[in-house]
Amino acid sequence: MFRAIYEYFKEILLAIRGLINGMRITGKYIAHARKEIITQEYPDNRDTLKMFDRFRGEVVLLHNENNEHRCTGCSACEVACPNGSIEIIWRAGKTPRRAKRKSRLRPSYTTCRCVRCATCVSCRAPLMRSKWGMISNTRFSIVRN
Amino acid sequence: MYDFTTFVQSIGNFLHGQFSPGVATALEWTLVILIYLALYAILGLVLVYVERRVCAFFQLRLGPNRVGWAGTAQTVADALKLLLKEPVTVNKADKLLFNLAPFIITLAALTVISLVPFAKGLQAFDINIGLLFIVAVSSLGVVGILLAGWSSNNKYALIGAMRSGAQIVSYELSVGLSLLTMVLLTGTLQLSAIIETQANGWWIFKGHVPAVIAFFLYLTASIAEINRGPFDLPEAESELTAGFHTEYSGLKFAFFFLAEFVNMFTVAAIATTVFLGGWMPFHIGDWAGFNAVMDFLPPIFWFFLKVSAVIFLMMWFKWTFPRLRIDQLLKLEWKYLMPLNLMNLVFTAILVYLGWHG
């Protein structure tokens, strides 16, 4: 019987210890709440925000300083994309001179359909990279041509 | 130094001098009702904001910080939104009970708050069975919850209401017993007299171990009684959508919401009154200088300081502990809180019999 009473009080004390442990953790959180807040107030700090290394966002075609890209239109990204958000539109020009020009190559990228898996990036690493920042109000800014 | 008795009496004398006794009494009542309704609304708005903000900081979030300075006007905006919303009534709801339930809850919350002494002489309703009255009236709120759950014609609401019933029937005992422990020490049920007994030290300090145990038992049981913190089974969002107020919208939902937060204030106020010395300033032994400085702060400030400390403790509980299951809830009450309370009561009775209390 004394054994049972001992067990009863031991259980209560252990429970209290567990509760205090939990409260210590949350207490630490609120004590350091100013410094450790994870939430980003995004559109306000767009200029200063530094994204994490492993962040995957919208895909952009990299351009060099002369504003030329190195896309050959091989369609590897289109094949790799799981939900068809990338489409390579290849239109041969009507005149022979225009047919040679690269600018007729048009990769179409629909951001609203993209799931940010970055499969296309791993396929054509030097050509594309993930970029932070997608915020838009219009349909026209969602589909990138 | 800060005694509101003469101030309150002078208002009463002025009214009685100007008008006939009947009209004067009616005016006094109107004044008290207006003050308490304003207090009710302000408390609700402030507590909702504080709750959302504190909860956010506990979870390392920011909380509402857009409307007004640091989001202070957020709750005002929310209240305006709720006022403008359409009060939807469910098709097959019991119309009378459905509309009555929010008012019963508000009535219970308002009645209890009227007994709280904010400062010396600043109390609307000082009866000699104060604590008993509080325990009796605060359990009236469950009638509103049960009616709300029953009349909404919704399974989730009904389950929530039934859980609330089981919860309050059990935890009422612990609240009553822990307050009874303190009544043994104070020797009175009148709230103003209870505060007078703490002039030379708060009960949590001079009541030895039993008072401390009773404080935490009271806090746990009363948090359960107002359906809050880890005991929010009646409105468990993840299980019952919103529990008993699932079908309510607009102003009627606002009544439930306000009553919940005002109940939190009431619980903290009673804990302050009974355990933490009410509006009595903090004194240490015979440090005359320190005590004089503490006396300088007005009692109403002391009262709200203690109440906010207790409310913060309650928020800390809520945002730390996971919600209990219904069987765990009943087990906690009947296997742990209640026997501990009874043991504590006997222990205190022995202490009082031997005359060891302050």
Domain ranges of chain A: 2-38, 51-144
The residue behind tokens 């396929």 is: A123
Q: Which residue has the tokens 């006022």?
A: B83
Work out the number of other CB atoms within 10 angstroms of the CB of residue B190.
17
Rounded-to-10 torsion of CA A40, B54, B260, B226: 130
pLDDT band at residue A17, thresholds of 50, 70 and 90?
A: very high
Architecture of the structural domain at A51-144: 2-Layer Sandwich (3.30)
In angstroms, the CA B313 to CA B321 distance is 12
Confidence of residue A142 (pLDDT cuts 50, 70, 90): low
Kindly state whether B320 is in contact with chain A, defined as any CB-CB distance less than 8 angstroms: yes
Largest CA distance in chain B: 67
The arithmetic mean of pLDDT across residues A114-120, rounded, is 74
CA distance A57 to chain B (A): 23
Of the candidates B231, B227, B215, which has an alpha carbon nearest to the alpha carbon of residue B328? B231
Q: Which of B89-98, B167-176, B308-317, B343-352 has the lowest mean pLDDT?
A: B89-98
Torsion region of B20: left, alpha or beta (phi above 0 gives left; psi -120 to 50 gives alpha): beta
Q: How confident is the model at residue A144 (pLDDT cuts 50, 70, 90)?
A: low
Among A39, A40, A45, the residue to mutate for chain B (most B Cβ within 10 A): A39
DSSP per residue, B208-231: HHHHHHHHHHHHHHHHHHTT-GGG
Contacting residues of B for A29, CB less than 8 Å apart: 57-60
- Based on the number of CB atoms within 10 Å of its own CB, is B42 exposed (0-12), middle (13-18) or buried (19 or more)? exposed
The owner of tokens 């308490």 is B36
Across the A/B interface, how many CB contacts are shorter than 8 Å? 37
- The pLDDT mean for chain B works out to 84
With CA atoms as reference, the chain A residue closest to B55 would be: A30
Query: Which of A26, A36, A38, A41 best tests the B interface by mutation, with the highest count of B CBs <10 A?
Result: A26
- Tell me which residue has tokens 């939990």: A22
By CB atoms closer than 10 A (0-12, 13-18, 19+), residue B175 is buried
Structure tokens at B153: 């014609």
| pLDDT tens-digit series, residues B2-21 | 677 777 778 778 887 887 88
Main-chain phi, psi angles of A59, to 5 degrees = -95, 130
Cβ atoms within 10 Å of B127's Cβ, excluding its own = 12
Q: In chain B, what residues touch A14 (CB-CB under 8 Å)?
A: none
pLDDT category at A14 given cuts 50, 70, 90 is: very high
Q: Which residues 47-76 in chain B show a CB within 8 A of chain A?
A: 54, 57-62
pLDDT digits (tens, 9 = 90+) for B48-80: 898 888 888 888 888 888 887 888 888 888 888
Closest CA to B231 of B240, B220, B242, B239: B220
Which pLDDT score is estimated for A66? 76
pLDDT in tens, B202-257: 887 777 788 888 888 898 888 888 888 788 877 777 777 777 788 888 888 888 88
Domain boundaries, chain B: 86-354
Q: Is the dihedral of CA A38, B322, B105, B303 positive or negative?
A: negative
Q: What pLDDT score does B109 carry? A: 86
Contact yes or no for B60 and A37 at CB 8 A: yes
| Residue positions counted in chain B | 358
B57-96 burial, b for 16+ CB within 10 Å, e for fewer?
bbbeebbbeeeeeebebbbeebbeebeeeeeebbeebbee
Within 111-170 of B, beta carbons closer than 8 Å to A belong to none
- Residues of chain B neighbouring A30 (CB-CB closer than 8 A): 54, 57-58, 316
**Is residue B291 over pLDDT 70?**
yes
Residue with tokens 């190195």: A70
pLDDT digits (tens, 9 = 90+) for B81-111: 888 888 888 788 788 888 888 888 888 888 8
- Whether residue A104 has pLDDT greater than 60: no
Of B61, B316, B321, Cβ closest to residue A37: B61
**Residue B325: count of CB within 10 angstroms of its CB:** 11
Who among B60, B320, B336 is closest to A23 (CB)? B320
ipTM over 0.90? The verdict is no
Backbone angles phi, psi at B154, to 5 degrees: -140, 135
In this prediction, residue B1 carries a pLDDT of: 57
Contact criterion met (CB < 8 Å) for A37 and B62: yes
Instruction: Give the integer Cα–Cα distance in Å for B223 and B171.
Output: 9
Amino acid letter, B21: P
pLDDT at residue A125 in the model: 43
Please state, in angstroms and as integers, the Cα–Cα distance from residue A42 to each residue in A48, A132, A134, following that order. 10, 11, 11
B340/chain A closest Cα distance in angstroms: 10
Name the band, by pLDDT with cuts 50, 70 and 90, for residue B335.
confident
Q: Which of A80-94, B80-94, B300-314 has the lowest mean pLDDT?
A: A80-94
| pLDDT per position as a tens digit, A21-54 | 988 988 888 888 777 788 877 777 777 777 676 7
